[in-house]
């Protein structure tokens, strides 16, 4: 039986998210920064920036090359897989916040910034995870050494449209729109509060207007503050983080630069959410279904995670245009001896998946930044409904295997949709899960009628939805139409399922 997956994109916002899905976060940031610098070079031809086009261009190339070279060397020296895109991103960020070079001394400042930025990723670490935003470290260290501090020249009114549009896209991609917005609100309110008593209303309005169009603040909030690897992953901690950095940045009496405010915020992230990186040994692989493969890695002692969480996985070697990193759900249960990830491998797989498929026992993979709130509720009595599209089944495999191993009964209904029956995976786990209360339904597509017929008490259940963007969005829309409260709909979506 041939089953077609759900894909429903109705509104412009849905189309935007669908387009963003086609780019990795690293690639989106890289394109954004290159576009911004390209436009800065163009407007400089009409003297709309304080620097010449050739100084901007040469400094940008110089910083990108320096970051790439230092990152490459340190990666080789410390035997840690490198991501060339992340080093280029750090270089281009520095090119937008440090004054473009003219003299030999200027180039020495840029070289120091690039070296410090890359070194911070390998030296200033906890559990092999870097603590600080690399570009902020580079700007801070070069300023201390040479007393030549970041100019944040990206704060130019002729760059405003691109900074705003690109920044919003990026913050949406990394799911930190609220965090960036909260930072902005705290920053503006703090500026107003810091103004001297008796300041006129017109002056306050003018300050607010200048702050709203301050490109450097927008760039800081959407590009640097939101960096996933140095900012908290949980919403409540993001609120504290954004508030803290906004206060530090906005209160004049502290005399803190943007980079100093961010570095202090990074310390807060370290205090509340230590992110451990693991070097794991490959233990074997298994084909689960047509096009679905699982890869097993030896689990380190004392490493704990919850079913449904994900990590960033990095493979050594050259990647393709999508890079050598992926965010993948841990498909194994915490009760199992090995860690497992399961992926769909298409006819023309990405370089990452080709490399994954060529691993031999003992080969290494780097896994880090354990995160995710897509986990089982603490309330065992809560009725649940799992809805999976394609390889979005992986978090549910982990959850149900965990419940089976713990012999913990829960009221769970599973809807599982794939292109065709031969792509259905983990049947053994779901069969065993019947003993703990699982009811399974394999459906080619979802509809209000199908859900109402098979889940008559749907209004009492909490729905977990996982899969490609189109599936997650469509399933959520159907549930909303049925009257299910949005607070009872929990989604788990990661781009790149098919690559």
When pLDDT is cut at 50, 70 and 90, the band that residue 173 belongs to is confident
When pLDDT is cut at 50, 70 and 90, the band that residue 499 belongs to is very low
The total number of residues written for the chain in this structure: 499
Average pLDDT estimate for 441-447: 86
Of 75-79, 100-104, 173-177, 270-274, the range with the lowest mean pLDDT is 270-274
Cα–Cα nearest to 113, from 140, 80, 153, 152: 140
How would CATH label the architecture of 277-371? Beta Barrel (2.40)
pLDDT digits (tens, 9 = 90+) for 177-188: 999 999 999 988
pLDDT at 3 over 70: no
Average pLDDT estimate for 95-119: 96
pLDDT digits (tens, 9 = 90+) for 126-172: 767 788 999 999 999 999 999 999 999 998 889 989 999 999 999 98
Domain map (residue ranges) of the chain? 13-272, 277-371, 384-492
Average pLDDT estimate for 395-412: 96
Average pLDDT estimate for 23-37: 91
Confidence at residue 39, expressed as pLDDT on a 0 to 100 scale: 97
When pLDDT is cut at 50, 70 and 90, the band that residue 5 belongs to is very low
CATH number of 384-492: 3.40.50.80
CA atoms within 13 A on the CB side of 8: 12
Q: How far is C-alpha 489 from the geometric centre of its chain's CA atoms? A: 21
pLDDT digits (tens, 9 = 90+) for 455-468: 999 999 999 999 98
Confidence at residue 211, expressed as pLDDT on a 0 to 100 scale: 66
pLDDT at 321 over 80: no
Q: What is the DSSP string of 390-438?
A: GGGGHHHHHHHHHHHHHT----EEEEEE-SBGGG---HHHHHHGGGGTE
User: Which residues is 489 bridged to in the sheet?
Assistant: 463
Residue 150, SS3? coil
pTM: 0.74
Confidence at residue 126, expressed as pLDDT on a 0 to 100 scale: 79
């Amino acid at each position: 039986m041939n089953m077609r997956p759900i894909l429903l994109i109705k509104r412009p916002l849905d189309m935007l998210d669908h387009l963003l899905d086609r780019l990795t976060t690293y690639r989106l940031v890289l394109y954004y920064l290159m576009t911004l610098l390209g436009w800065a070079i163009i407007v400089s031809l009409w003297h709309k920036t304080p620097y010449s086009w050739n100084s901007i261009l040469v400094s940008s190339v110089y910083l990108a090359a320096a970051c790439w070279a230092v990152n490459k060397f340190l990666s080789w020296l410390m035997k840690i897989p490198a991501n060339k895109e992340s080093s280029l991103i750090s270089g281009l960020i520095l090119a937008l916040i440090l004054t473009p070079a003219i003299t030999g001394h200027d180039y020495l400042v840029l070289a120091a910034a690039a070296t410090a930025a890359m070194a911070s990723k390998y030296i200033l670490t906890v559990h092999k995870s870097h603590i600080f935003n690399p570009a902020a470290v580079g700007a801070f260290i070069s300023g201390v050494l040479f007393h030549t501090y970041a100019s944040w020249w990206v704060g130019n009114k002729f760059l405003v449209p691109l900074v705003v549009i690109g920044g919003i896209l990026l913050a949406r991609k990394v799911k930190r729109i609220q965090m960036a917005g909260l930072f902005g609100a705290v920053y503006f309110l703090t500026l107003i509060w810091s103004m001297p008593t008796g300041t006129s209303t017109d002056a306050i309005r003018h300050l607010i207007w200048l702050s709203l169009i301050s490109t450097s603040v927008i760039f800081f909030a959407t590009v640097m503050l939101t960096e996933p690897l140095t900012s908290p992953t949980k919403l409540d901690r993001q609120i504290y983080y954004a508030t803290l950095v906004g206060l530090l940045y906005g209160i004049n009496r502290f005399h803190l630069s943007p980079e100093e405010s961010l570095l202090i915020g990074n310390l807060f992230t370290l205090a509340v959410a230590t992110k451990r990186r693991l070097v794991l040994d490959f233990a074997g692989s298994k084909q689960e279904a047509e096009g679905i493969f699982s890869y097993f890695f030896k689990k380190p002692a004392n490493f704990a995670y919850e079913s449904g969480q994900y990590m960033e996985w990095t493979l050594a070697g050259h990647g393709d245009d999508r890079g050598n990193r992926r965010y993948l759900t841990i498909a194994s249960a915490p009760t199992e001896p090995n860690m497992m990830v399961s992926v769909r491998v298409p006819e023309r797989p990405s370089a990452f998946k080709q490399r994954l498929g060529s691993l031999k026992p003992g080969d290494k993979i780097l896994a880090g930044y354990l995160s995710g709130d897509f986990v089982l509720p603490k309330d065992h009595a809560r009725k649940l409904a799992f809805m999976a599209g394609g390889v979005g089944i992986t978090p549910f495999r982990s959850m149900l295997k965990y419940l089976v191993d713990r012999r913990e009964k829960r009221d769970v209904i599973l809807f599982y949709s794939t292109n065709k029956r031969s792509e259905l995976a983990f049947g053994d786990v779901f069969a065993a899960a019947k003993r703990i209360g699982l009811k399974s339904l394999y459906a080619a597509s979802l509809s209000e009628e199908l859900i109402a017929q098979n889940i008559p008490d749907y209004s009492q259940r909490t729905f977990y939805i996982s899969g490609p963007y189109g599936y997650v969005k469509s399933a959520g829309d159907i549930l909303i139409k049925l009257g299910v409260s949005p607070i009872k709909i929990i989604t788990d979506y990661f781009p790149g399922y098919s690559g």
